[in-house]
Amino acid sequence: MTSPPHPMKLPPNTSLEIFTSFITRCTSLCGASNVQIISQDSPLDDGSYQDPCKGHDMHAILSKTYFVASAVVYPRDVPEVQAMMRLCNEFVIPVWPWSAGRNTGYGGAAPRVPGSVGLDLGRHLNRIIEVNVESCYALVEPGVTYFALHEYLEKRGLREKVWLDVPDLGGGSIIGNAVERGAGYTPYGDHFMMHSGMEVVLPNGELVRTGMGAMPDSQDPEELKKRPDLQTGNRAWGLFNYGFGPYNDGIFTQSSLGIVVKMGVWLMPNPGGYQAYMVTLPSDAALNQALEIIRPLRIGMVIQNVPTFRHILLDAAVHGPKSSYTSSKAPITEEEMDQIAEKLDLGRWNFYGALYGPQPIRDVVWQVIKGSFSQIPGAKFYFPEDRKEKDSVLHTRELTLQGIPTLGELSWVDWLPNGAHLFFSPITNISGKDALAQYDLTKRRCAEAELDFLGTFVVGLREMHHIVCIVFDREDPESRQKAHWLIRTLVSDCAKHGWGEYRTHLSLMDAVSATYNFNDNAQMKLNESIKDQLDPNGILAPGKNGIWPASYRKDIDKWVLGADWTSGNPPATWRDM
Amino acid sequence: MTSPPHPMKLPPNTSLEIFTSFITRCTSLCGASNVQIISQDSPLDDGSYQDPCKGHDMHAILSKTYFVASAVVYPRDVPEVQAMMRLCNEFVIPVWPWSAGRNTGYGGAAPRVPGSVGLDLGRHLNRIIEVNVESCYALVEPGVTYFALHEYLEKRGLREKVWLDVPDLGGGSIIGNAVERGAGYTPYGDHFMMHSGMEVVLPNGELVRTGMGAMPDSQDPEELKKRPDLQTGNRAWGLFNYGFGPYNDGIFTQSSLGIVVKMGVWLMPNPGGYQAYMVTLPSDAALNQALEIIRPLRIGMVIQNVPTFRHILLDAAVHGPKSSYTSSKAPITEEEMDQIAEKLDLGRWNFYGALYGPQPIRDVVWQVIKGSFSQIPGAKFYFPEDRKEKDSVLHTRELTLQGIPTLGELSWVDWLPNGAHLFFSPITNISGKDALAQYDLTKRRCAEAELDFLGTFVVGLREMHHIVCIVFDREDPESRQKAHWLIRTLVSDCAKHGWGEYRTHLSLMDAVSATYNFNDNAQMKLNESIKDQLDPNGILAPGKNGIWPASYRKDIDKWVLGADWTSGNPPATWRDM
């Protein structure tokens, strides 16, 4: 028997000897083919995005090997997930759960603590357990991607009855997206709101069901003897989220308190008609007027879906790399933006929405929306059939906005050679004044960092997720430094205005959580208190969103990635940082 | 100085001497006029429903003085709420927070543990802090009732812009209803879903803000010096619920983990048109067919609001007491029901809904709804103007369904002399088969208990709250026993079918929570674990929804109100129980 490969990073406070004996236990638990050590020799960039090893460094900005796991384990079922938690407690080894997809811009599959063990649920826990067309929900495991559920519906002809809601990329995990509180673009775009019921493995390995799932479908022993399937779940689990007593689901989102291994997701009834549309606006000033028009329409649900206001450079990047528009390496100028917009027959800002329902409803709604936007000088209106170019953004959005997963959005990351990106995602209210203020600040900082502003406003029920896509050349240390300086500076800048991020990259989790500091960090103290109680050994996703277990807090300087580089001025030269 | 009155019940493990010294401290904290001992001589039924003392026994079914507080304290501001929590920790005295209204059918303002100190937030913490018409939300304190916010909007002419969502009775606290996960009847009927942001006093007295409220509105010291108002809250607090990191709001609902002292509530934009309607159905069989019609319409949001299917006797009870229909004391028979329906020109089941939006939208929607219900033989359709009787239920619902608070529904509790009631509230899916099965079971048990079935199905987004109103004569021990036997038996019966309650009366909290027992009560163990961590002395609302702090679990038989009387058969005589 050959000795196992030496991992690139060992877990904290763990000798190679102990690690090896831990791996032996993992192997006997999950089988040798389901345990993989991440060594210098093992491929990290094998091109398969379903393999979390790939993601580990794709978005790394500190160095190529800071956020890296020691090993990845692929449990085959829920009892193995439970057993892995008990094993990690026994060895006091941190574990970082992962489902499927890319988590692009937020850190991929990489763990916050170097040397953590990746727990990949995507390979085996990928069953679509139930699709209930009558009551419009599905019960899925973490490995079920948007593509997988879509294909399931398509194959059975069920899209006639129910639609999915999908995010920009369809390869991700439905559960993963919801527990990170990701968004989609149909009327069901708030993925946490549109879930019902969870099955969760707690840090100690206990299995909990929330909502109505906490009640078995029958408590009649005779009935259960006759029909053991009734023990699998309550019929209202996917229907009524809250159950009885404290509603705990939220503490399992963006958190390190449990691993969601089953979840109910609400499906949208086929609305009986659909029409995607685009409105192009000629200038930044038009964005201001447009948002004042949109706010009442969106809150009043005249705009039925989660629409997006995309900056010209984001759409341009979908059509081609920066080099296809200019030979300059400097940030694109205002004049160049106008030229690009003209070339692509788009506006400075481009609004993508959709109408849902039978023709008479759509007609009334479109009349209102078009009439309102028509007040803006220079606004132009398009349906997909009006656009003749191949693979226009509107054609991709036409699919996305009816819940058909795609990968079309991927291409903007190639704006620069060796393109990688970070998402900077502050929340703002739906207001021209605030949005423009946030845009101006962000654009100015992008220019200081010598990077382009590629952004989109995603219009939710009362607010907007302003998603700034910071594209950099991952092979160029200077470009990485620029991106890192930019995002750290923006976190700090925006906090001064009261603008907070809804989600962030691994390397920014401490910085962002530190801005949610009302009353001497009272929320963080609450989070730490619950964390310490449910995970006394601090093994589950330590450091996730800035929450450090007690054992790490004793030595916190070793772990926190602090708010340095936030003086407000860019460094004299980027190499100096 | 006269000695203070002896309380009817002392807090557990508390001598009169210690209690007196505790009361002295309360008095110096909140002022003498804001501390009231509940003694034999103090009026418990003074007719003011804003006084929690009144509620303490109104719904008591065990005995008139089991669920009773030792004293009530009325803090004047949030720091006093925090100080009270610290004081209760110091004395290890249980505290039961209360806002405003009746909490009718679920225990009023009475505490679960006899002798707890009532903490009444309604008297002083009743500020409407902000109404934001542009972004459609309000920020309120616990003492703000639906009536109060409605009046605020009316006085300023703001109902032209925004509407409330209200439950059946308008006297309750907006926060109290949302944290108990109560429901209303407009499109904004899910009150927890439609909140955004909380300020919470934890059991240890710490003050936490959730969501975007955890981020101060500015982190710029200069800015804060100039504008101290920015410290009061983040501008997105009422817009974006989730904030960053674990989403904790749910654990403060139906729970004993904190006292919500501020909350954001979303307001509905005036929809630009409104029409209430009623559909009457002649028979139970018609209910079956109707629910199969309703399910797709409701899930597809063609039925835009939270409609209700009300049993004839519930509507009859609004119009007059049982004695106005029959001289018999026995449960109303099927024939009598038909006679009552004919007399009132109502159906066996009566469906109350509303259309929202401009005329062209309402026309399309009404065409679909009326067309669908028209398939049911004997269905009849009414708008409010079609009903000539005074104070019809439809006239009251016409107000409720546009968010205008009323007290009209109060009268059905007078169905019996000295009428009081319990709510039995199981969840069911929206299906004729399941609803009829639940109705049949419930009606049969009502008959065994010699009580009438008064019920309504409240149709949510994917499920129904089946609200059974168990009306009894609170002055008649036999009638109380019947009601108690009935509800305990129904909890047990329904659990056998997998039907769980969404909320329950004080005396049933242990029984109901015991039915949510998946995987050896894993959810309860989780709840207890978090409870023990956040409230080690177990002072905040011990026993709430079956969650007992560690100090009570040591002696649990003393506290739990167990699942006795559930053999399935009614007792030989009611006096024997």
pLDDT tens digit string along A353-407?
Answer: 999 999 989 999 999 999 999 999 999 999 999 998 888 999 999 999 999 999 9
Note the pLDDT tens digit of each residue in B177-231: 999 999 999 999 999 999 999 999 999 999 999 999 999 887 766 766 676 555 5
As beta bridge partners, residue A130 has A139
Residue-level pLDDT at A63: 59
Q: What CATH number is associated with residue A368?
A: 3.40.462.10
Average pLDDT along chain A: 91
Burial of B226: CB neighbours in 10 Å, binned 0-12, 13-18, 19+: exposed
- Residue B26 falls within a domain, yes or no? yes
* B-proximal residues of A, 302-321, CB under 8 Å: none
Contacts 24+ apart (CB under 8 A), A521-528: A522/B206, A522/B207, A522/B208, A522/B209, A522/B214, A523/B208, A523/B209, A523/B210, A523/B214, A523/B243, A523/B245, A523/B248, A525/B206, A526/B202, A526/B206, A526/B208, A526/B248, A526/B534, A527/A255, A527/B245, A527/B246, A527/B248, A528/A553
Q: What count of Cα atoms within 13 Å lies in the side-chain half-sphere of residue B110?
A: 28
> Are residue A331 and residue A393 in the same domain, yes or no?
yes
Judge whether residue B45 has pLDDT over 50.
Answer: no
Q: Does B210 touch chain A (CB under 8 A)?
A: yes
Q: Which of residues 350-369 of B touch A (CB under 8 A)?
A: 358, 360-361, 364
Q: Which amino acid is at B501?
A: E
Q: B377 — contact with chain A (CB < 8 Å)?
A: no
Encode pLDDT of B293-340 as tens digits.
999 999 999 999 999 999 999 999 999 999 999 999 999 999 999 999
Is A243 part of the contact surface with chain B (CB cutoff 8 Å)?
Answer: yes
Most A CBs within 10 A among B225, B255, B496, B516, hence the mutation to make, goes to B516
State residue B379's pLDDT score: 98
Residue in chain B lying closest to A239 (CA):
B462
Longest dimension (CA), chain B: 77
Q: For position A62, what pLDDT does the model report?
A: 55
Per-residue model confidence as pLDDT tens digits over B412-460:
999 999 998 999 999 999 999 999 999 999 999 999 999 999 999 999 9
Query: Do A31 and A161 fall into the same domain?
Result: no
Q: Which domain holds residue B33?
A: 16-120
- Judge: B247–A269 Cβ closer than 8 Å, yes or no: no
B572 within domain boundaries: no
Residues found in chain A: 577
Indicate whether B503 belongs to any domain: no
Distances (CA, A) of B437 to B189, B285, B452: 26, 12, 17
Cα(B575)–Cα(B90) distance, rounded to whole angstroms? 44
Residue written as token pair 């599905």: A138
Mutate to test the interface with B, among A223, A462, A465, A496 (most CBs of B within 10 A): A462
- Helix residue ranges, H only, A227-358: 284-299, 312-319, 334-344
Q: A interface mutation test: which of B134, B188, B244, B513 has the most A CBs within 10 A?
A: B244
SS3 call for A471: strand
CB contact burial A521-542 (16+ within 10 A = b; e otherwise): bbbbebbbbbbbbbbebbbbbb
Domain-embedded: residue A575: no
Nearest CA in chain A to B546: A245
HEC assignment per residue over B239-298: CCCCCCCCCCHHHHCCCCCCEEEEEEEECEECCCCEEEEEEEECCHHHHHHHHHHHHHHH
pLDDT of residue A570: 82
Last residue of a domain, one of B497, B517, B537: B497
Q: Classify residue A6: in a domain, yes or no.
A: no
- Is beta strand B95-98 parallel, antiparallel or unpaired with respect to B117-120? parallel
A-chain residues within 8 Å CB-CB of B269?
296, 299-300
So what's the pLDDT on residue A396?
96
* A195-215 mean pLDDT: 97
Confidence of residue A317 (pLDDT cuts 50, 70, 90): very high
Mean pLDDT over residues B116-133, rounded? 95
Does B299 contact A136 at a Cβ distance shorter than 8 Å? yes
Is residue A572 assigned to a domain? no
B294 & B255 share domain: no
Calculate the CA B331 to chain-centre distance.
Answer: 27
Nearest to A36 by CA among A136, A126, A132, A117: A117
Predicted confidence at residue A78, as pLDDT, reads 96
- Please answer yes or no on whether A246 and B547 come within 8 Å at the CB atom: yes
Cβ contact B159:B187 at 8 Å: no
Q: Give the number of other CB atoms < 10 A from CB of residue A343.
A: 11
Q: Which of A220, A248, A504 sits opposite B526 (nearest CB)?
A: A248
Whether pLDDT at A58 is above 50? no
Q: Which amino acid is at A58?
A: M
Instruction: Provide the percentage of residues in chain B whose pLDDT is more than 90.
Output: 81
Number of domains chain B is built from: 4
- Domain check: are B164 and B107 in the same one? no
pLDDT at position A57 over 90: no
B246 min Cα distance to partner chain A (Å) = 5
> If you average pLDDT over residues A98-124, what whole number do you get?
90
- pLDDT value of position A510: 96
H helix or E strand, kind and range, residue B85: helix B78-91
A253 Cα to chain B: minimum distance (Å): 5
CA–CA separation, B5 and B20 (whole Å): 9
Residues of B in contact with A249 (CB under 8 A): 250
Q: Binning pLDDT at 50, 70 and 90, where does residue A475 land?
A: confident
According to the model, what pLDDT value does residue A64 have?
Answer: 62
* Domain identity same for A396 and A288: yes
Asked if the Cβ–Cβ distance from B135 to A534 is below 8 Å, we say no
Last residue of a domain, one of B497, B517, B542: B497
Strands B268-269 and A71-73: unpaired
> Which amino acid is residue A66, in one-letter code?
Y
- CATH number for A182: 3.30.465.10
Asked if B425 and B531 sit in the same domain, the reply is no
**Residue B72 domain-assigned (yes or no):** yes
Claim to verify: residue A348 and residue A412 sit in the same structural domain = yes
Angle value at C-alpha B269, between B265 and B270, nearest 5 degrees: 130
Instruction: Give dist(CA B152, CA B173) in Å, integer.
Output: 15
CATH of the domain at B524: 1.10.45.10
Residue ranges of A 216-235 with Cβ closer than 8 A to chain B = 216-220, 223, 230, 234-235
CB within 8 Å of chain A, chain B residues 135-194: 135-137, 181, 192-193
Which residue of B201, B362, B433, B462 to mutate against A (max A Cβ within 10 Å)? B462
Residue at a domain's end among B451, B477, B497: B497
Amino acid at B84: M
One domain, residues B256 and B329: no
Residue B389 and residue B343 share a domain = yes
Q: What is the mean pLDDT of residues A559-573?
A: 73
User: Residue A44: its pLDDT value, please?
Assistant: 46
On whether both B51 and B34 belong to a single domain, the answer is: yes
Claim to verify: residue B52 and residue B103 sit in the same structural domain = yes
Q: Are B312 and B350 in contact (CB under 8 A)?
A: yes
In angstroms, the CA B136 to CA A229 distance is 46
* Mean local confidence (pLDDT), A433-444: 96
pLDDT of residue B58: 42
How much is the pLDDT for A224?
Answer: 65
Angle (deg, nearest 10), helices B432-448 and B477-496: 150
Catalytic residue status for A66:
no
Indicate whether A249 and A325 sit together in one domain. no
Q: How confident is the model at residue A462 (pLDDT cuts 50, 70, 90)?
A: very high
- Compare CB distances from B462 to A196, A243, A526 and report the shortest one's residue: A196
Chain B residues in contact with A299 by the CB 8 A cut-off are 135-136, 269
Q: Answer whether residue A53 shows pLDDT above 50.
A: no
Give exposure, A205-235, as e/b (b: 16+ Cβ within 10 Å). Answer: bbbbbbbbbbbbbbbbeeebeeeeebeebbb
**pLDDT, tens only, A419-435:** 989 999 999 999 999 99
Q: Tokens at residue A269, please? A: 């009834």
Using a pLDDT cut of 70, give the percent of chain B over it.
92
pLDDT tens readout for residues B10-34: 999 999 999 999 999 999 999 999 9
CA torsion through residues A525, A528, A529, A530, sign: positive
Contact A142, A153 (CB under 8 A): no
A235 catalytic? Reply is: no
**Quick check: is B95 in a domain?**
yes
Closest by Cα among A301, A11, A167, A141 to B304: A301
